[in-house]
Amino acid sequence: MARPKIALIGAGQIGGTLAHLAAMKELGDVVLFDIAQGTPEGKALDIAESGPSEGFDASLKGTQDYADIAGADVCIVTAGVPRKPGMSRDDLLGINLKVMKSVGEGIRDNCPDAFVICITNPLDAMVWALQQFSGLPANKVCGMAGVLDSARFRHFLAEEFNVSMKDVTAFVLGGHGDTMVPSVRYSTVAGIPLPDLIDMGWTTQDKMDAIVQRTRDGGAEIVGLLKTGSAFYAPATSAIEMAEAFLKDQKRVLPCAAYCDGEFGLDGMYVGVPTVIGAGGVEKIVNIKLNKEEQEMFDASIKAVQGLVTACKAIDSSLT
Ligand code: A3D
């Protein structure tokens, strides 16, 4: 059986890391596409030359030609511009929307059966636009943000409790922005909900509030340290987790930006929610109940995403 084909649109910091991870995990053959001449070719060759030492079998190719992504099974999109210190994700909207148009058309024309994972910011609006520009079914187009935001939350919790991060489950709902909703009630250590751990004296409410806020600011914290761009190791790892769930039909329960049509009371929009990812793409949205406080935070996040979608429509009248 031929190896799966993984197309990476954007061969920058995240794209290169995605290619390295996909090859090392032998998820399939990798095509790196970028408009920058030489970058995808150079990264593809460099990673291929790490194969003999690492011991993986995967072919890697860099290209500026969309025809090379033909028939891809998975397509991960990082094309566009990342933020610099002082910028919000929303500041990227105008420039990255134009990029989504060309990328969406490239996917539509060359790999309409792919499972598409968007990473480009502002995430929830860009994945919505990418689905429209590509015309692919909504369950085959989703955005990576929740896995990353949850991983950050899990990391901070594991440090606070001094336990293995393997035993910490957590998820973050809502849009991938300042209004995201890290769910304390639905996050656990080995099944014990965080509020119970506060009652047990493992931490305090103040410390938990600080961890929630650090999770919300997780992207900005890295941007502030790097100064020249945004996070790329953890974002790439998170998207690979989603791609692997699809390629291996794992039915993983992962938070991602998925198209909600009725779920969570939403009327056709992309936002971060818990989902089941398997061979069918986003196979299910896990429609959990929110309490009053969570619902208020979720509503504020929805409002922020809706504002970005409205801004996209004002820029490009082909979006409906
Ligand atoms: P960067 O290293 O700049 O890579 C982006 C690449 O896109 C560059 O190599 C560009 O040449 C390329 N590119 C630009 N326009 C096009 C085009 N029209 N077609 C093809 N390629 C193009 O950025 P990065 O890899 O650090 O980040 C990529 C995106 O991911 C940015 O928008 C970030 O804001 C976003 N990001 C999202 C998250 C989430 O959790 C959602 C996390 C981190 C970064």
Cβ–ligand 1 distance for 82 under 6 Å, the answer yes
Q: Are 246 and 141 in contact (CB under 8 A)?
A: no
Q: pLDDT tens across 149-203, in order?
A: 999 999 999 999 999 999 999 989 999 988 999 999 999 999 999 999 999 999 9
Which structure tokens are listed for 179?
Answer: 């209004």
Atom index in ligand 1 nearest the CA of residue 126 equals: 32
Strand ranges inside the chain, DSSP E: 5-9, 29-33, 60-63, 74-77, 115-118, 141-143, 168-173, 181-189, 192-193, 252-261, 267-278, 281-285
Cβ–ligand 1 distance for 97 under 6 Å, the answer no
CATH number for 3-142 (one of 3.40.50.720, 3.40.50.2300, 3.10.310.10, 3.40.50.1100): it is 3.40.50.720
The DSSP code for 97 is: H
Tell whether the model's pLDDT for residue 88 goes beyond 90: no
Q: Which residues contact 121 (CB under 8 A, 6 or more apart)?
A: 80, 82, 83, 89, 92, 96, 176
pLDDT for the residue 164:
98
Distance of CA 290 to the CA centre of its chain: 23
Task: List the residue whose alpha carbon is closest to atom 26 of ligand 1.
Answer: 13
Among 315, 312, 314, CA closest to 131: 312
Domain ranges of the chain: 3-142, 144-310
pLDDT for the residue 90:
86
- pLDDT averaged over the chain? 96
User: Any idea what the Cα angle at residue 137 is, between residues 133 and 139, rounded to 5°?
Assistant: 120
Q: pLDDT tens across 244-261, in order?
A: 999 999 999 999 999 999
Q: Per the confidence metrics, is the pTM higher than 0.90?
A: yes
> According to CATH, what is the number of the domain 144-310?
3.90.110.10
Hey, which residues are catalytic here?
176
Cβ–ligand 1 distance for 140 under 6 Å, the answer no
